[in-house]
Amino acid sequence: MQYKIGRLLGNKPKEAAFMAIENKLQNGDTVVLNSDIIDSVTINAAITLDGQGHTFHVEDETVGINLHNHCQIVNCNFDIGEKANGISVRETGIELSLQDCTLLHHSGDNVYESLFMKSPLHKLMVDNAKIDYCTLNTKQIEGSTLYLGHSDLPRFNLGFRENSKWSATEINVANLYAVNINAAIYGKIQTLNALDVSLFTYGRQITIANFTMDLGLDPEQAITDKQIYGLKIFGNTTLKNVFSSEADQKLLDRYGKVAQLFIINPKDAGTIVNISGDWRIANNWLNQIWNGNVNFINYKDVNQWRFKSEESKITWKSSNFRYKKDYTPKPKQKSAQEKLDEMIGLEDVKKKVKAYIATSIVNKKRKELGQNVAANSLHLIFSGAAGTGKTQVARLLAQILSDNGIIKKAELKEVTAKDMVAEYLGQTSLKTHKLILSAKGGVLFIDEAYELDPTSESDGYKKEAITTLVKDMDDYRSDLIVIMAGYTAEMEHLLQANSGLPSRFVNKIEFPDYSEQELIEISNLQLKQQKQRLDDEGLHELGTFISQAKKAEKVDGNGRWVRNVLQFIGQARDLRIVADGSVDSNPEALNMITAADVREGIVNFK
């Protein structure tokens, strides 16, 4: 059925004409406007609204159409007031068709969304449609020509949100004009005229046959005071033809110092961007690539590109443009294996750790090939005095095992006996079990593990912790490595506390005390890491003190002992430069240690 509403004579808009028939509408009906109207209506049926070029005025603080069903709107202009919505989509799964339609605000004051998404659309079909501001939540967009955004209104957002999770909208349109929007889309666009558009694909691909940065989309120059760009690309994008804008020279000059054609900065380094075409407008616009794989194919640009990160991968074929590597290359990060190899001393430790790693790698390969693998224990005992590098080696070992796929995560969960034992009997088992679960997939490192030995005190709490540890090591043997560390004699005594421990800790690595020369090398390394400098006399004084202390068996703590000595020396230097005023007058004094500082620090240390 067809309903004609509005005034037949006169120019004054008809009020509440649509509301008068809203309860009569049935699926398939058509409503025709004979004049402009002022109204707020609820539509529950699937209908067609034919505006015949007239205007649907939406008054302040109202909603023009509350939409509960599919709707086709033809040749109709929505003039939207302050704090008002032109159309409000109230049900999920609706298909909305806009043909020769506009949803525009009559001013930029107190702007609410012209198309409000209470629920997401299933599909938006367009043919010469304009929407100036909204969060357009739709699963699909298809049609001919669509205008989105306004340079002088809040930023337009386009994407598909379901269950509070955003993804990309599937789009297939011939012409898209977009300004001041965030577009999460994938699919195809024949021609994209864009200004100040951020493009996301959420792992999908968008293909744009023709693209230009269209300065004419900001006729009021509302965004000239900030950095402006054509496309900021965050997702997989193919631009088959980039072509130059036809803007006049005055407009080009206005934007010349603040504009960039492209900024490419995806979070995912694997993102692929393909660019082809010819950009001929020269205004010293600097295009930027921060991340991703960018391929230039038959692309020409009179402006310079800047590569902002060495993590980007750039290729070009039959392309011509200037570029600059606008970054300082990062120093190559050493692998955990390289760091282990470079540790001072510990030659026998390194040898045994390498053998342990090699066996783990070979057994992993055997399993992958379906071969039988002996049930080898991967748990370890690290024994030795304090400060011999047990914790540092454990951290590196966790990373090496992860790098080779032996464990799932390069995480070393560091605990002590106190972390495993609870306050009341019966709670220790649960506390220990939770710690073990938190280390699954990685390495559980129990420092000073001999504190778990219950034999000397008949401690039922510690016995409970060991019993739980032994059981969980069996239950999670394919997903957990345990390293127990401590003094050699005490660790041997601990292994006798439970009959299950020796068979589970067959890998034992002894960490020897550092030699006199190794302690001196450690002191030099620690000073270098702290960016501290000693004069030659100071180095001699420090080396002599370390040698004498080692020979007199006064080194208690190995590398840790060296660190404490250097702390006292540093304090002596700090006291000196504060007293003589060089802390303010001479910046170099902050990191310079003299022989007198060394002597004073040694006296205080003793």
At residue 571, the 3 state secondary structure works out as helix
126 φ/ψ sector (left φ>0, alpha ψ -120 to 50, else beta): beta
Indicate the pLDDT class of residue 438, thresholds 50, 70 and 90: very high
- CA 393/CA 177 separation, integer angstroms: 59
- pLDDT computed for residue 108 by the predictor: 86
Residue 331 CB burial class (10 angstroms; 0-12, 13-18, ≥19): exposed
Out of 340-349, 481-490, 581-590, pick the least confident: 581-590
Q: What is the dihedral of CA 507, 512, 518, 520, to 10 degrees?
A: 130
- CA 486/CA 472 separation, integer angstroms: 21
- CA 305/CA 299 separation, integer angstroms: 12
Mean pLDDT of the 539-562 span? 90
Considering only residues 233 and 281, tell me which one the structure prediction assigns the higher pLDDT: 233
Indicate the pLDDT class of residue 114, thresholds 50, 70 and 90: very high
Mean pLDDT of the 552-569 span? 90
Q: Which of 176, 181, 105, 168 is nearest to 143 (CA)?
A: 176
pTM above 0.85, yes or no: no
Diameter of the chain by CA atoms?
A: 114
Q: Which of 471, 473, 477, 469 is nearest to 375 (CA)?
A: 477
Indicate the pLDDT class of residue 521, thresholds 50, 70 and 90: very high
pLDDT digits (tens, 9 = 90+) for 372-404: 877 677 899 999 999 999 999 999 999 999 998
pLDDT digits (tens, 9 = 90+) for 273-328: 999 999 988 766 789 999 999 999 999 998 889 999 888 899 999 999 888 888 87
- CA 459/CA 71 separation, integer angstroms: 77
pLDDT digits (tens, 9 = 90+) for 131-167: 999 999 999 999 999 999 999 999 999 999 888 788 9
- pLDDT computed for residue 456 by the predictor: 57
- CA 306/CA 237 separation, integer angstroms: 19
- pLDDT computed for residue 180 by the predictor: 94
Length of the chain: 606
Domains assigned to the chain: 1-119 (no CATH), 168-328 (no CATH), 336-511 (3.40.50.300), 516-605 (1.10.8)
- pLDDT computed for residue 458 by the predictor: 57
**Which residues, 6 or more positions from 219, have their beta carbon under 8 angstroms from its beta carbon?**
151
Give how far Cα 364 sits from Cα of 201, 337, 372, 407, 521, Å. Answer: 38, 18, 11, 10, 37
Give how far Cα 482 sits from Cα of 290, 380, 422, 472, 477, Å. Answer: 41, 6, 20, 10, 9
Task: List the structure tokens of 248.
Answer: 């006049």
Assess contact for 465 and 494: CB atoms under 8 A.
no
